[in-house]
Each structure stands twice: as structure tokens, then as C-alpha cells.
Amino acid sequence: MCPADECQIGQGHEQLETSSKFQITTPLPNRQREAYELFLQHAGIDVAAVEWVEDATGKTYVYDVNTNTNYNPAAEEETNVYAHEHLAEFLGDLLSEKYGIELPQ
């Protein structure tokens, strides 16, 4: 259940599944997002990726919280959401707020 490129194996000819196993859900439902944010806040985590699966009834199960991760470019490309861009923006805002350092746009 690892979405990173390094974890992917090629599909054999006997496999019929062609859809991506992993996708970025955007926007995440508010209740789910708020629960994850509260969990991360209580854990003292500022930056993370939360990986979860959903069963046939729609119930979600978190199976991994990554604070240092490899990303899945195919999932990012499909949704036009790029984790590294969000991380750079977060760190730039932090530099500005804490140290008054403004980065060029």
C-alpha cells in the first residue's frame, strides 16, 4: 500500500486493472480534513501526508502518516496538486512569519 514511485511494480499481462491505485482527494471532505488536522496538531506535526483507504461502505481507515515521504507524481499530475509546491509555500510563510524574511515570488 505504498503510493511512491519506488514501491510500484509493473503490471503483468494477466492483470486487468488499469486505473491508478492511488489518487489525491481534493478537496478532502471537511470532517475528514479537520480530524486529520486535529490529530497532526496533537502530535506536533506541521507537515505530513495522511494515507487512507475507504471500504465499500465509505468508512475510511488511516494506514500511514508520512512526515518524510516519497510522492506519487502520477497522482499529483492527475489532480494538478504538487506536494513539493505546498511544502515550499509553507516553509516560505514560516520564514516570513518567524524571521521577517521575504522570498522572491
Mean pLDDT rounded to a whole number for the chain = 82
| Cell numbers representing residue 22 in the block | 492511488
Q: 10 phi and psi, to 5 degrees?
A: -65, 150
Residue type, 43: A
Tell me how far CA of residue 37 lies from CA of 7, 28, 54, 64, 75, in angstroms: 27, 12, 18, 14, 21
pTM: 0.64
Q: Where are the domains of the chain?
A: 22-99
Residue range 11-36, pLDDT digits in tens: 555 554 545 667 777 788 999 999 99
Cell of residue 39, nine digits: 490529530
